[in-house]
A = this chain, B = another copy of it.
């Protein structure tokens, strides 16, 4: 039976698995590399966070990544309160599960307190200190976790080394009581412009991790094209290729039309879109937008504007 990772918001259940339509984890709420957003968040202005949440869900994101890495000198003091506020704001305007994204453990802990339903913790690595700090938090809450295939030695270019890091994390997670279905392995998408084998390595690992570890995979899919021209086309085709080999979700930008087209096309082509209904609906929406109209309702996950109470 195919693995299913089940993630929840107050009223939505998202199933991640190779037999289900691809799940977009929206990447936009991330101040890294967005100076204006970082400055606004630091000053307590979350209007852009709110707008990014609504726009991404309207565009098709089923989960939202929330990162509060402001690049400050004292992240352990600042990030927990900023991520708490960002998650609170997001949950006010949309009803989708949260992917709590931080390299700061107290921020992950704070995010787990703030997030409703069953969130994803992003991320743990194979480093001993990360395993011991992050996995107990994930286990205690019954959350899912993204496991990134690097460890104290850094990121290996050898797929077998990354695979062994994945195995180590999965086994340690199980020792903490976290089932394999709740560990999403990130085999790491390095830029192909720097590492020519980066794409092939990732595609190879997706199948190996599914077949030999029984885990779903994910990745930050926008990194693959770094430094190259026409990144949108590369990112779009990378996504359909990842879907072809069985990757069930990725952290990506649903506001890029090429990304949505790639995912809807790949879902239809691989048989995850009954009667190609989502594809046909997506094309109708594009036609309406092109002719100056508004897309009709019901085409995606519409944002909810009501407040939800846990």
Contact = CB atoms under 8 A, between A and B. Distances in A.
A241 to B, nearest CB: 4
A4 to B, nearest CB: 18
A300 to B, nearest CB: 17
A203 B272 CA distance: 14
Contacts of A262: 237
A187 to B, nearest CB: 14
A93 interface: no
A72 interface: no
B228 A270 contact: no
Which label, helix, strand, loop or mixed, suits the secondary structure of the A interface?
helix
A240 B203 CA distance: 12
A274 B240 contact: no
Contacts of A233: 261, 265
Interface string A256-281: 00000110011011110011100110
Interface residues of A, number: 39
A266 B280 contact: no
A271 B192 contact: yes
Contacts of A269: 192, 199, 224, 234, 237-238, 241
A279 to B, nearest CB: 7
Give 5 closest A-B pairs by Cβ, nearest first: A241-B244, A199-B269, A237-B265, A229-B283, A244-B244
5 contacts: A196-B271, A199-B270, A230-B261, A237-B262, A241-B241
